[in-house]
Structure 1
Amino acid sequence: MEENKILKRSEVAEEYTWNLKDLYETPEDWDKDAEKVDGICEEIEAFKGHLGDSGAKLLDWFKKADDLDVFIGKLYGYSSLAADVDLTNSVNQARRGKAVGLLTKISSAASFSDAEIMEISNEKLDQFYKEEPGLEAYRRALDKIRHMKEHTLSAAEEKLLASAGEMSEGAENIGSVFRDADLKFPEVTDKDGKSHRLTQGTYIPMLESNDRTLRENAFKTFYKTWKEHEGLSAAILDAHYKQQTFFSRSRKYASNIERSLDRTEVPTSVYYNLIDSVHRHMGSMHRYMDLRKKLMGLDELHMYDIYSSMVADADEKITFEEAKEIVYEALKPLGEDYLKVVHEAYENRWLDVYENEGKRSGAYSSGAGSRPHPYILLNHKDTLNSMFTLIHETGHTMHSYLSIQNQPVAYSDYVIFVAEVASTCNEVLLMRHLLSKTEDKKKRAYLINYFLEQFRTTLYRQTMFAEFELRLNEIVERGETLTAEELNKEYYALNKLYYGDNMVVDEEIGSEWARIPHFYYNYYVYQYATSFAAAITLASGILKEGQSAVDRYLKFLSSGCSTDPISLLKIAGVDMSSPAVIDSALDVFEGLLDEMEELSK
């Protein structure tokens, strides 16, 4: 594609767009499925009041729930994927809105099920297992539901909460449209006076530029624009956290963090251990900033200097086609069967590659719901960072695909605590591959700089986000309101803590919270950090130990949610209940700093 040109959706070559015909051949086929929802709700209603009748009836319900999961995943997946590639397309936005309403309708109709299952006595359920051996396949699903008994309300109350599902997504959806479609930025100039178009997608590449004038102008213009709308951003975020608090209290949880982590079977101690471990190693982050300032030859290190390479002129352009070939090589340690599926994904349009006007920013893999396979959204630039994004999202996709292939529907979608492990392990494998292929000191230093940045942006920065999110929840749970002033103050203070006193923490960074969509994801971001730490351990094992470590890892990828996430990671060889995993990963960071300092001499 022509460099820096952002195309209209209709101008993007088909080979770089995903093929949604794997879900529905035409939008009209989607409409036909949407029309089935009333009939499906009637089928659901027929089970109401009868789940405790017999083991056979309970088994029929779980089979119906499996069918519903597949139907819902397909219906919502198609509408959401179509909407995300052009947020200005009102037809696709309307279809996604309709899908949310239909899913809420189904959810409301099925809301009786958990309460009924919890009312079945232990003795009666044991008898059901004896009467109906097929029910054994759903024992874990039943145990998880019954575990939630103290947080489950009456059937009428559950139906009311389910009906509020559509409204509960309002703040996040409004924030997404505002950030990705409505918010526009002025053009910025570089050191030669040349103008550049500033967008959500071009902002980080500009900060990665060697042109400091462009970096500073992009940084200040970007956050000046956000600050002009900070009252709106704060109100949207406040509405989101208030509705989270409402749901937590409705379900008798002491806090939002308790509710969020309980749903994924992760002890809250894991969250606090992460923050504590990172705080113990904060001096290493400050040392890294000191090294960056020295290598960049700056009198003052500013926030707009921390994305640019410390090693001048060592970065290179990597086209999408080149990135794919390098990714294939990096993933060879995982075996031919793994690579075969990756090749199918890349060559059969499971990916939507380039930024276009109105396209959602960032990147994601659509997950197990989008059967027969996940989809990958990218906003690819010809950079090293984009290649890492490609292999990252490929890891998610392979995790989802292998779980779909090896687990029944009820256990095919893994929880978010393990979601980032496969993606980040892929990134580490790519970095190790690149480092193994170069002896040139300058290029090696460039790669180590990138690896150090992965630690900064994933382990340190995501932990900073996690700490910020924890503070926001605590503020709202005290009955206070999130104002722009309070948000700026809290966010700026955390940046000062994490980056240290030896660099200039520019005032503008206080507004960064407004652009981060993950603050709407409810205790999600900490898992980037824990997963990165786990991935460092897993990748090292794969490269050192070979096939036995690969076998354990692939078993983990194929396990979906067949057991709790801490146990799943133990299958792969990592114990995340201990802070030792975080500490060990940060020891690697310190070792990389040592090597970088030696190379810099």
Structure 2
Amino acid sequence: MQIRTRSEQLVEDTWDLGSLFSDAQDWEQGMETLKRCIEEAPSFRGSLQKGKEEFLATMRWYEQTAILAERLYNWAFLNYSSDASSSEQVRRYAQVSSSMSQLSAAMAYFDPELLGLDDTVVEAYLADPAFGDYAVFIRKARRFKAHVLDEAQERLMALQSEVASVPRTTFSDLTNVDFDFGMLDGSPLTQSTFSSFLMQEDRELRKKAYKQFYHVYDASKHALARLYEGQVKQDIFRAKARGYESCRAMALFPDNVPIAVYDSLIAAVHEALPTLHRYYRLRARLLGLEKLAHYDVYVPLVGGIHTNTPYTQAVEIIAKALAPLGAEYVRTLTDGLTTERWVDRYENKGKRSGAFSSGTFTSKPYILLNYKEDVLRDVFTVAHEGGHSMHSHYSAANNPFFQYDYTIFEAEVASTFNEQLLARYLIEQSEDQAMKAYILGKQLDDIVATLFRQTMFAEYELRTHQLAEEGTPLTLELLRSEYRSLLQTYFGDAVEFEEESDLEGLRIPHFYSSFYVYKYATGISAAIALSRKVLENGESARKDYLTFLSSGGREYPIDSLRMAGVDMADEQPVREALATFANLLSQFEALA
């Protein structure tokens, strides 16, 4: 494997950011416009309380400014993500991040003024059709009344937000740019290739990759622990400043998700741990081992199957798998993944690891990948991120700006839904029993990674935040001890861990977006239920699902998912997903 520099990437393999800005000069001009908007912002102080026409004028100005700011930020963020080794991309990203903080500070009066209006006044305004594009936003914003500070305090909070991002950006630069994992077996070991090495059949190669990779983390473990502690302290500061009971309560409040949903997820998964331990014991038997090492848990359950799927072929397979969603959905996604250039396909030096989807109200819904032809999982990643981008496409097309942005809680349904259809298609199309077993094993691995593993992460975040909220210092030793205890609980007695295994807790990027990962677990649970409905109930279920994709931020996530046909306030979807895992495990055991 050779890792290209950014300049060596073929143009057709990169995204076309022209729907945001045509070039750097165009972006710089946009930044000048934003600067003028920031200077104008104080002139609207008091306008919300002057009368309906002034209120409406302010909302229209706010809307246009926010659309511009979103475009500017996304262009800089996407360029930075594709090459963080470029000083120019780093400068622009820092510049727009600073401007976003300045805009928030300049509009510190907005929320206090909005929340200071009487309910009768606001409802009278919202009865006017002219406010139609803003009604959902205004009603949701007023729900935060108990947690919004006065103007001076809000200004300080906005100015502090730039500082608050330092742990996250430092962690990203340290692990994606500064860390050099070296070469292994003639190929570079990187954040992206690490997963490929751990899926190799050669156990000694897996072990070498694991040891070499974590050796780099071990050398910086104290700094990484301090960065995570800094993130947790930022969370505690914001929760206390805004009057929330806890960091977790603050994180769940915007989505109107009850704390019980989080707790019941952990409880249900704990009840299913015996089935997970059975899965790891089976994995050990199939590998001919008495005990698994931590570097053994990602090898495909069925060995001897090697796949090579060029990117264009992956798109063709995904198009066929998603046919139940209709010709329009498939055509739009296929064009986006190919000729419309939504996607930045392959790894290059300085590029962010992993994958994500990120668009704006007026742009293409862009996708960052680090696609590898020899990793079947990457075909699923394309389907996954395509689900996010189609969700963005439908949301932007069917909603005004202030209600198009859906929550992460909903987003993880749209992505894992596509993976469910893809797995079903691959199993049905395969005539080879070994390949069917391979795909079944892949489904098992995905539920382990998305439902069990993300719940373990969610439990770790809960523990670390609760300890810090109680005044316990988050030392390196404590963080490692808490993470190791969870590893042992979730993996059971089939796995023996290495001395460095608990360093894994210091390398998870999502921990810098606190209380985010539980949404992966709830998302796959909802996706399993909804994909089954679409496949079994046909057109009516398909329309319900597309209505959900089109709803944007119109409803709170649990309400929008109810419209699609699944109630995530109830434990049943999670328990059904766990039962699906047990059923797939039995099917796999029969084939294996």
User: Does TM-score exceed 0.5, indicating one fold?
Assistant: yes
Q: 1:57 aligns with which of 50, 54, 58?
A: 54
Mapped partners of 1:274, 1:268: distance in 2: 10
Report the more deviating stretch, 295-304 or 465-474. Answer: 295-304
Task: Specify the alignment match of 2:169 in structure 1.
Answer: 173
Mapped partners of 2:451, 2:152: distance in 1: 43
Mapped partners of 2:472, 2:493: distance in 1: 30
Written as runs of structure 1 = structure 2, the 5 A alignment for 1:103-122 is: 103-122=100-119
Structure 2 stretches lacking a partner, 5+ long = none
CA-to-aligned-CA distance 1:162-192 (integer Å, 9 cap, x gap): 111111111100110001000111333xxxx
CA-to-aligned-CA distance 1:461-493 (integer Å, 9 cap, x gap): 000000011111112212232222111111111
- Answer whether contact 2:34 2:68 (CA < 8 A) is retained: no
CA-to-aligned-CA distance 1:412-434 (integer Å, 9 cap, x gap): 11011111110000000100000
CA-to-aligned-CA distance 1:346-368 (integer Å, 9 cap, x gap): 22211000000111111000134
Q: 1:432 aligns with which of 416, 424, 428?
A: 424
- Answer whether contact 1:368 1:401 (CA < 8 A) is retained: no
Task: Specify the alignment match of 1:580 in structure 2.
Answer: 572
Structure 1 stretches lacking a partner, 5+ long = 189-193
Report the more deviating stretch, 48-57 or 488-497. Answer: 48-57
Task: Specify the alignment match of 1:86 in structure 2.
Answer: 83
Q: 1:139 aligns with which of 135, 155, 178?
A: 135
Report the more deviating stretch, 52-61 or 12-21. Answer: 52-61
1:260 and 2:251 are equivalent in the alignment: yes
- Describe the SS at the equivalent of 2:500: helix
Written as runs of structure 1 = structure 2, the 5 A alignment for 1:552-563 is: 552-563=544-555
Mapped partners of 1:560, 1:368: distance in 2: 13
**1:216 Cα deviation after fit:** 0.8
User: What TM-score, normalized by structure 2, do the two folds share?
Assistant: 0.98
1:7 and 2:7 are equivalent in the alignment: no
Mapped partners of 1:126, 1:75: distance in 2: 33
Task: Specify the alignment match of 2:18 in structure 1.
Answer: 21
**1:505 Cα deviation after fit:** 2.5
Q: 1:150 aligns with which of 140, 146, 152?
A: 146
- Answer whether contact 1:492 1:507 (CA < 8 A) is retained: no
**1:22 Cα deviation after fit:** 2.0
Written as runs of structure 1 = structure 2, the 5 A alignment for 1:302-381 is: 302-346=293-337, 347-369=339-361, 371-381=362-372
**1:136 Cα deviation after fit:** 4.2
- Answer whether contact 2:34 2:69 (CA < 8 A) is retained: no
Q: Which residue type is aligned with residue 43 of structure 1?
A: E
**1:98 Cα deviation after fit:** 0.2
CA-to-aligned-CA distance 1:468-522 (integer Å, 9 cap, x gap): 1111111221223222211111111101000001221333210001211000011
Q: Percent identity?
A: 37
Task: Specify the alignment match of 1:191 in structure 2.
Answer: none
CA-to-aligned-CA distance 1:92-147 (integer Å, 9 cap, x gap): 100000000111111111121111011111222233345x4312442322221211
Mapped partners of 1:453, 1:125: distance in 2: 50
Q: 2:230 aligns with which of 234, 239, 259?
A: 239
- Answer whether contact 2:461 2:515 (CA < 8 A) is retained: yes
Which aligned runs of 4 or more in structure 1 are off by greater than 4 angstroms?
Answer: none
- Answer whether contact 2:15 2:343 (CA < 8 A) is retained: yes
Q: Which residue type is aligned with residue 221 of structure 1?
A: Q
Q: 2:444 aligns with which of 452, 467, 485?
A: 452
Mapped partners of 2:401, 2:64: distance in 1: 8
- Answer whether contact 1:367 1:396 (CA < 8 A) is retained: no
Q: Which residue type is aligned with residue 155 of structure 1?
A: E
Mapped partners of 2:186, 2:328: distance in 1: 47
Q: 2:124 aligns with which of 110, 123, 127?
A: 127
User: What TM-score, normalized by structure 1, do the two folds share?
Assistant: 0.96
Task: Specify the alignment match of 2:73 in structure 1.
Answer: 76
- Answer whether contact 2:451 2:520 (CA < 8 A) is retained: yes
Q: Which residue type is aligned with residue 518 of structure 1?
A: H
1:404 and 2:400 are equivalent in the alignment: no
Mapped partners of 2:208, 2:188: distance in 1: 12
Task: Specify the alignment match of 1:206 in structure 2.
Answer: 197
Task: Specify the alignment match of 2:33 in structure 1.
Answer: 36
Report the more deviating stretch, 544-553 or 501-510. Answer: 501-510
- Describe the SS at the equivalent of 2:292: coil
Mapped partners of 2:307, 2:132: distance in 1: 55
Task: Specify the alignment match of 2:376 in structure 1.
Answer: 384
Task: Specify the alignment match of 2:267 in structure 1.
Answer: 276
Q: Which residue type is aligned with residue 542 of structure 2?
A: V
- Answer whether contact 1:472 1:482 (CA < 8 A) is retained: yes
Q: 2:157 aligns with which of 156, 161, 180?
A: 161
Report the more deviating stretch, 48-57 or 568-577. Answer: 48-57
Mapped partners of 1:368, 1:523: distance in 2: 24
- Describe the SS at the equivalent of 1:381: coil
**1:403 Cα deviation after fit:** 0.2
**1:36 Cα deviation after fit:** 1.7
- Answer whether contact 1:55 1:129 (CA < 8 A) is retained: no
> How many correspondences in the alignment?
590
Q: 1:251 aligns with which of 242, 255, 258?
A: 242
- Answer whether contact 1:285 1:498 (CA < 8 A) is retained: yes
- Describe the SS at the equivalent of 2:134: helix
Mapped partners of 1:363, 1:235: distance in 2: 26
Q: Which residue type is aligned with residue 438 of structure 1?
A: S
Mapped partners of 2:552, 2:30: distance in 1: 27
Mapped partners of 2:571, 2:360: distance in 1: 30
Mapped partners of 1:126, 1:514: distance in 2: 48
**1:298 Cα deviation after fit:** 1.6
Report the more deviating stretch, 158-167 or 133-142. Answer: 133-142
CA-to-aligned-CA distance 1:552-576 (integer Å, 9 cap, x gap): 0000000011011100001110100
- Answer whether contact 2:3 2:188 (CA < 8 A) is retained: no
Mapped partners of 2:92, 2:137: distance in 1: 31
1:480 and 2:472 are equivalent in the alignment: yes
- Describe the SS at the equivalent of 1:200: coil
Mapped partners of 2:142, 2:572: distance in 1: 33
Mapped partners of 1:348, 1:215: distance in 2: 38
**1:406 Cα deviation after fit:** 0.3
- Answer whether contact 1:266 1:417 (CA < 8 A) is retained: no
Task: Specify the alignment match of 1:533 in structure 2.
Answer: 525
- Answer whether contact 2:197 2:206 (CA < 8 A) is retained: yes
- Answer whether contact 2:81 2:352 (CA < 8 A) is retained: yes
1:96 and 2:93 are equivalent in the alignment: yes
- Describe the SS at the equivalent of 1:482: coil
Task: Specify the alignment match of 2:590 in structure 1.
Answer: 598
**1:251 Cα deviation after fit:** 0.1
- Answer whether contact 2:69 2:100 (CA < 8 A) is retained: yes
Mapped partners of 1:63, 1:46: distance in 2: 14
Mapped partners of 1:127, 1:462: distance in 2: 44
- Describe the SS at the equivalent of 2:47: coil
- Answer whether contact 2:284 2:494 (CA < 8 A) is retained: no
Mapped partners of 1:126, 1:483: distance in 2: 50
**1:443 Cα deviation after fit:** 1.0
Mapped partners of 1:39, 1:197: distance in 2: 46
**1:64 Cα deviation after fit:** 2.0
